[in-house]
Amino acid sequence: MADELVAIEAENLGIRYSLRLTRKNTVKTSVVQRVRRSGDTSFWALRNVSFAVRHGESLGIIGPNGAGKSTLLQVLAGILTPSEGDVALNGHISSLLTLGVGFDEDLTGTDNIRLAGAFMGIDHKVVEEKLPGIVNYADLGEFIDAPIKTYSSGMRARLGFSIATSVEPDILLLDEVLSTGDAAFREKSKQRVGELVQEAKAIVLVTHDMNWVLEYCNRAMLIEKGHIVAEGSPADVVREHQERSAERRAAAQAAGVFSTAKPVPAKRG
């Protein structure tokens, strides 16, 4: 990469899914109907997505459900391979997406910390040195010695976040992780992300929490139907998102009114 200050550079990314690959269709009804009408058996979850994130930037990715936000994060994490385009990453990556895949349901929280360290390629000695700090930060009490399968989603998020941020990553990828757990831990998590930004780390966060984007992100990007429709300051992008969301709700309500209205019978002679 020509510019060492650039942590992430994506050019014309595209992810194409085939509806023939799964018997259980998880695609939104509107997409399925469109595909059936056209006779095509595939659709683009992302298309022509280009952007860059520099070290020291915290990018908030927002958009309606099914827009392609989490798909994009999975591409950056290396879970999905682009159908077209390229992505270049400069630095060590830490992601709760990959950590979640690596958790063993039958192992305790402590043993999963060790497993995650090995999964992330961290030397065992380093993991053991960081272990007390990770356990203390997660603040799971006696549950740290209980199997992961007994954890709530919030507890999983706390453990995963503690691991992901303990390794001092150059690039941190987060997907709605701070929406779970208690208020005290969410606040602590926000503070930690703020520290990482100040340390010139690059952070990409997918969230529906607009307040989080406004307070802790210095850039934002709005995605709809797999395309970037706005990018810039958090305040501007959040406002654009809210305005477009309001327009969609109004259109849906109007369509609902007209579609459910019963025709008035004509008067007879």
8-state DSSP, 67? S
Q: Where are the domains of the chain?
A: 1-31+39-91+216-243
Does 269 score more than 60 pLDDT?
no
Work out the pLDDT band at 190, boundaries 50, 70, 90: confident
Q: Could you give the dihedral angle defined by the CA atoms of residues 255, 37, 69 and 248, in that order, rounded to the nearest 10 degrees?
A: -10
The CA–CA distances, whole Å, from 64 to 28, 148, 209 equal 12, 31, 12
Which residues are within 8 A (CB) of 29 and not within 5 positions of it... i.e. 6 or more apart? none
78: left (phi over 0), alpha (psi -120 to 50) or beta: left
Q: How far is CA 118 from the centre of its chain?
A: 23
Q: In this structure, what DSSP letter does residue 24 have?
A: S
Mean pLDDT of the chain: 83
Dihedrals phi, psi of 175, to nearest 5 degrees = -130, 95
29 or 46, higher pLDDT: 46
What distances in angstroms separate CA 139 from CA 118, 134, 180, one per listed residue? 22, 9, 14
C-alpha–C-alpha distance, residues 192 and 27, integer Å: 35
Whole-prediction pTM: 0.77
Do residues 74 and 97 make contact, with C-beta atoms less than 8 angstroms apart?
yes
- CA–CA distance, 218 with 198 (Å, rounded to integer): 11
Report the alpha-carbon distance of residue 150 to residue 9 in Å, rounded.
39
224 forms bridges with which residues in the sheet?
Answer: 227
The encoded tokens of residue 57 equal 């930037």
Compute the average pLDDT of residues 258-268.
51
80-134: pLDDT as tens digits = 999 999 999 998 888 866 555 568 899 999 999 998 888 777 889 999 999 999 9
Give residue 4's pLDDT band: very low, low, confident or very high (50, 70, 90). Answer: low
The two structure tokens encoding residue 15: 């992810």
Please answer whether residues 201 and 192 qualify as being in contact, where contact means their C-beta atoms are separated by less than 8 angstroms: no
Identify the CATH number of the domain defined by range 1-31+39-91+216-243.
3.40.50.300
33-86 pLDDT, tens per residue? 555 555 566 889 999 999 999 998 999 999 999 899 989 999 998 889 999 999
Residue 1 has pLDDT above 60, yes or no: no
Q: Is the pLDDT of residue 256 over 90?
A: no
pLDDT average, residue stretch 208-235: 93
If 0-12 CB within 10 Å is exposed, 13-18 middle and 19+ buried, where does residue 205 land?
A: buried
Q: Which of 82, 63, 74, 68 is nearest to 31 (CA)?
A: 68
> What pLDDT was estimated at residue 95?
81
Using a pLDDT cut of 70, give the percent of the chain over it. 81
DSSP reduced 3-state for 89: strand
Burial environment of residue 93 by CB neighbours within 10 A (0 to 12, 13 to 18, 19 or more): buried
| CA diameter of the chain | 93
Give the pLDDT confidence score for residue 84 in this predicted structure: 96
> With 80 as the cut, is the pLDDT of residue 158 above it?
yes
What is the structure's pLDDT at 98? Answer: 58
Report the pLDDT averaged over residues 182-203.
81
Highest-confidence range of 101-105, 170-174, 218-222, by mean pLDDT?
218-222
Asked if the model's pLDDT at residue 179 lies above 50, the reply is yes
CA 68 to chain centre: 9
Confidence of residue 230 (pLDDT cuts 50, 70, 90): very high
- The C-alpha atoms of residue 19 and residue 82 are separated, in whole angstroms, by 17
For residue 107, the model assigns a pLDDT of 95
